Structures are given as C-alpha cells and as structure tokens.
Amino acid sequence: MSNPLRVGLIGAGRIAHSHMTAYLDHPDRVQLVAVCDIVEPAAQAYAKEAAVDVVYTDYEKMLREVDLDAVDICSSHDQHWPQTLAAAAAGKHALVEKSMAHNLPACREMLEAADNAGVTLMVAQNQRYTVETAAVKRFIDEGNLGDIQAVRTHAIMAAVPINPRGHWMNDGNAGGGVLLTNTIHHVDLLRYYIGNVKRVTGICKSVQPEMVNGAEDLVAATLEFENGAVGDVFGSWTTSLVPEGQYYMVVGSKGTLHSTPPTRGRPGVGHFGTTMYALKSPVEAGQRRGPRAEFQPLPVEDAGLPTENGVVNEILHFEECCRTGAEPISGGRDNLETMKVIAGIQESSRTGRAIDLDTL
Ligand SMILES: NC(=O)c1ccc[n+]([C@@H]2O[C@H](COP(=O)([O-])OP(=O)(O)OC[C@H]3O[C@@H](n4cnc5c(N)ncnc54)[C@H](O)[C@@H]3O)[C@@H](O)[C@H]2O)c1
C-alpha cells in the first residue's frame, strides 16, 4: 500500500501551477492535502484545480491544524525564510522554490533550523532535474570536456509585460530583481556542473522605473571557480527586444558545449533547448591543429530520471529524500553556496571590490 508524502502548498501563484502536475500525476508518491495563499480566491482556485478540499490563508494555522509531512513553498523570496522556519519548528520537511531566500543570513538561519529539527530542506532548482542537465552533468563528470577552463551564461528577459508595476519580483524589499529571480538559475547550474565559486566581481544597475527599492534589472559579473575556471555572467530583466533568451557555454581543455534557445511546448519549466557539443580532433603528425570539429547534439537518452518534466522530477526527488533521509541534489546546504555567489555580486557592486566568498 502506498504511503505518499502529505504536502501543504504555500503560495498558489504561477510556479505552483507547474508543481501541480507532480501532485496530479504521482498521488502514490506525493499527496497535496492543503493549499494556502494570502489571497483566498487564488488558494480556492488552485485547490479546486488540484482536487484539494482544505484551504487556508494563514500558513501557521495550516501547520497547526493539518497532518502534514512537508510544505511546498512557492511564495515570494522574502517569505521563504519565515515559512521555512515555521515548517521546521513544526517538524515538517520543506521544499522551497528558488531563490532559497532574499539574503544570506536568512538562508543560514533556515539551514540551521532544518538541521536542528532533523527535517529535509531542499531548494527547487528545477533546472538541475531536466534530462538535458542530467546528460550534460554526466558528460562533464566523465571527463569528456577535459579540465573546465571557462563558462559563460546570459539570461535576457522581457519581464515587464509578465510582471506588472508593483509586482514583488521588481521590488528589492521582497527579494525581487534579476539576480535572485533569474540569474540564480544559471549560476546554480554552472555550480552544479563545475563546483563552487571562489571569488566574484559584479556591477548591478536598476535602470527601468518599475524596479523599486534597489531591485536590479541589469547585472554583469565575473566568477572565479575553485577549480580555476573563469566565468562570465550577464543578466537583464527588462530588455524588450531579446535575440536569444537564456544561454550557457562550458569550455574545457578537450571540448566545448553550449545550449540552444528554449524549445517551446516542452513539459515543465524548460529554459534551454538542445545541448550542442564539439570535441577537439586529434592532431596528426606534422599538423599544427586537428580538423575543425563540428558541433552536434548531445544525446539525452537514459538520463535515469522518472519523467521528462524537470519540475516533476524535482518534486519526486524531494519525496525520496524526505523518505530516505538522503541529502537532496539541491539541498539547503548546497544552495547556500549559490546564494553566496549572488550575495558576492551584490556586495562587489556596492563596494567596487572583488569579493572572496569565504568572507561572506
Ligand atoms: N523554477 C522556476 O523556473 C520558477 C519560475 C517562476 C517562479 N519561480 C519561483 O517561485 C516563487 C514564486 O514565484 P511566482 O512566479 O509563482 O510568484 P507569484 O507572485 O505568481 O505567486 C506567489 C504567490 O504567493 C502568495 N503569497 C505571498 N506571500 C504569502 C504568504 N505569506 N502566505 C501564503 N501565500 C503567500 C501570493 O499571494 C502569490 O499567489 C519564487 O520563489 C520564484 O522565484 C521559479
């Protein structure tokens, strides 16, 4: 007989609807038993769609009154901190949407609370759970690219039509801004592929009038990884004319790979298309270089993931970690390191100095 993880959802907005697929398709693993949103009609509408009877507008009341194993936190960044602390105090596991929180001290407190309570804390870095990412991770880990020397990523979004004036994603007080909302996806992915970052420099700017309370809509940063690789990061939140939305490249001593633009209509929240790779050709005797290598698609079969949907895979991974006690692939301890990169970029922009992340 199945014994699914009993989950209460907090924040029934956009990303919560992507999470719903896991609850509808895998009731034997994860059972949504309550829905909470401060906006009651949003909670009611979500609950109806997810066939859930129990609705709250106060998450603390939900934690007191409902028999839950875990919460799925899909609220604004500033809310992740108090909601995770409340969940840990109630002995519940927590899946927290990225970004882990709005700042580094909050993340440290969340981690400590989860450790003390003996519950799982996982950050929903959904891009780590796609079949493409699994294929790239394996390809790099097998040494096919050799020593990784450089990475670069850009994420250029037209968020204004998506987020109207006054939306929390444009408000620094709520943890908004491009760094925490979007750039963090790609920084996290690069960390997943090649390891931790040692030092950063960065410039953040708040240019468009809809960005308030210090929320930046432009960021340019350089990263120095612990393995010696250099990284180049660019993020824009308010560019209305976008040639190519989101992109990354990994350059190694033996070859290079890069993403192509997103494939529309893929299940889940997909941000990249096909991964292309090329390996350096062997150099023949008497030649200065090998023949030019052509880029070709990286096969993604046999990713070893339960579904094609990265968000569903992430939620099933969370269930497995809660059940077994295993540390999640994107656990709070791991994602503190991603948050340090973001905090370092902000600190560098503020001070005009390079920031060693072990000082944060
Ligand atoms: N993984 C991804 O690709 C992805 C994409 C979009 C958003 N996100 C993340 O998901 C989270 C939510 O973003 P969104 O786009 O769904 O935002 P949203 O504004 O659409 O939804 C947030 C919801 O949380 C509710 N809320 C706020 N405070 C609350 C509280 N105290 N108690 C209960 N409900 C509360 C709001 O009323 C709203 O319905 C953020 O962390 C964001 O970064 C991730």
User: What confidence category does residue 181 fall into, taking pLDDT thresholds of 50, 70 and 90?
Assistant: very high
Query: What does DSSP say about strands 296-297 and 275-279: parallel, antiparallel, or unpaired?
Result: antiparallel
- What's the 139 CA to ligand 1 centre distance in angstroms? 33
Mean pLDDT across the chain: 93
Does the pLDDT at position 157 exceed 70? yes
Between residues 288 and 127, which one has the greater pLDDT?
A: 127
User: What confidence category does residue 266 fall into, taking pLDDT thresholds of 50, 70 and 90?
Assistant: low
pLDDT of residue 304: 87
Does the pLDDT at position 358 exceed 70? yes
Domains and CATH numbers, the chain: 5-124 (3.40.50.720), 128-308+339-357 (3.30.360.10)
- What's the 285 CA to ligand 1 centre distance in angstroms? 59
Q: Whose CA is nearest to atom 15 of ligand 1?
A: 14
The two tokens of residue 204 are 């953040």
Between residues 98 and 159, which one has the greater pLDDT?
A: 98
Q: Is the CB of 272 under 6 A from ligand 1?
A: no
pLDDT of residue 273: 83
Nearest ligand 1 atom to the CA of 42 is 39
pLDDT of residue 265: 56
Work out the angle at residue 76's Cα, subtended by the Cα atoms of residues 75 and 82, and round it to the nearest 5 degrees. 75
- What's the 76 CA to ligand 1 centre distance in angstroms? 5
pLDDT of residue 325: 97
- Counting beta carbons within 10 angstroms of the beta carbon of residue 196, is it exposed (0 to 12), middle (13 to 18) or buried (19 or more)? middle
**Residue 294 neighbours by CB under 8 Å, 6+ apart:** 278
pLDDT in tens, 240-262: 777 667 899 999 999 999 998 87
The Cα–Cα gap between 101 and 339 comes to: 8
Nearest ligand 1 atom to the CA of 80 is 41
pLDDT, mean of residues 102-123 = 98
- What's the 10 CA to ligand 1 centre distance in angstroms? 9
The Cα–Cα gap between 276 and 271 comes to: 15
Q: Is the CB of 4 under 6 A from ligand 1?
A: no
Only one residue has tokens 């350096």, namely: 280
pLDDT of residue 165: 80
Q: Is the CB of 84 under 6 A from ligand 1?
A: no
pLDDT of residue 269: 55
Q: Is 150 left (phi over 0), alpha (psi -120 to 50) or beta?
A: beta
pLDDT in tens, 38-58: 999 999 999 999 999 999 999
- What's the 107 CA to ligand 1 centre distance in angstroms? 17
Q: Is the CB of 19 under 6 A from ligand 1?
A: no
pLDDT of residue 285: 81
pLDDT in tens, 213-227: 999 999 999 999 999
Q: Whose CA is nearest to atom 3 of ligand 1?
A: 269
Residues forming a β-bridge with 234: 154, 220
pTM above 0.85?
yes
